[in-house]
Homo-oligomer: A and B are copies of this chain.
Amino acid sequence: MDDFQSSFSSRNMEEGHELSPLALNQGLFGIVAAGALKVFRYVKDDQFAILDILVEGDFFHYGFPDAPGVRMFVYPDQIQAMTTSCLLYMDSTKLQELLRRDADLSSTYLDSMTGKLNQLHERFIHLGSYAADHKLAYLLEFLHSKGPGKADYPDLIPFNITRKDLASLAGLTLETASRILASFERSGLIRSGRGWVEILDYPGLSKLCRTEEL
Query: Cβ of B121 and Cβ of A51 under 8 Å apart?
Result: yes
Query: Cβ of A61 and Cβ of B129 under 8 Å apart?
Result: no
Which residues of chain A from 50 to 109 have a CB within 8 Å of any chain B CB?
Answer: 51-52, 60-63, 65, 92, 95-96, 99-101, 103, 106-107
Select A171's contact among B63, B107, B129, beta carbons within 8 Å.
B129
Q: Which residue of B lies closest to A28 (CB)?
A: B114
Which residues of chain A from 168 to 184 have a CB within 8 Å of any chain B CB?
Answer: 168, 171-172
A189 interface residue (CB < 8 Å to B): no
A153 interface residue (CB < 8 Å to B): no
A23 interface residue (CB < 8 Å to B): no
Known A-B contacts A49-B124, A106-B100, A171-B128; A44 and B114 likewise in contact (beta carbons under 8 Å): no
How many A residues touch B, CB cutoff 8 Å?
47
A22 interface residue (CB < 8 Å to B): no
Give every chain B residue within 8 A of A212 (Cβ-Cβ): 42-44
Q: Which residue of B lies closest to A51 (CB)?
A: B121
A127 interface residue (CB < 8 Å to B): yes
A27 interface residue (CB < 8 Å to B): yes
A208 interface residue (CB < 8 Å to B): no
Known A-B contacts A27-B111, A99-B100; A127 and B128 likewise in contact (beta carbons under 8 Å): yes
Smallest CB separation, A143 vs chain B (Å): 15
Smallest CB separation, A60 vs chain B (Å): 8
Select A114's contact among B27, B39, B211, beta carbons within 8 Å.
B27
Smallest CB separation, A116 vs chain B (Å): 7
Query: Cβ of B100 and Cβ of A96 under 8 Å apart?
Result: no
Query: Cβ of B63 and Cβ of A92 under 8 Å apart?
Result: no
Give every chain B residue within 8 A of A103 (Cβ-Cβ): 96, 100
Select A96's contact among B39, B110, B124, B211, beta carbons within 8 Å.
B110
A26 interface residue (CB < 8 Å to B): yes
Q: Given contacts A49-B129, A92-B114, could you give 10 more A-B pairs where the C-beta distance is less than 8 Å?
A: A26-B111, A27-B111, A41-B125, A43-B211, A49-B128, A63-B114, A63-B118, A92-B111, A100-B101, A117-B120
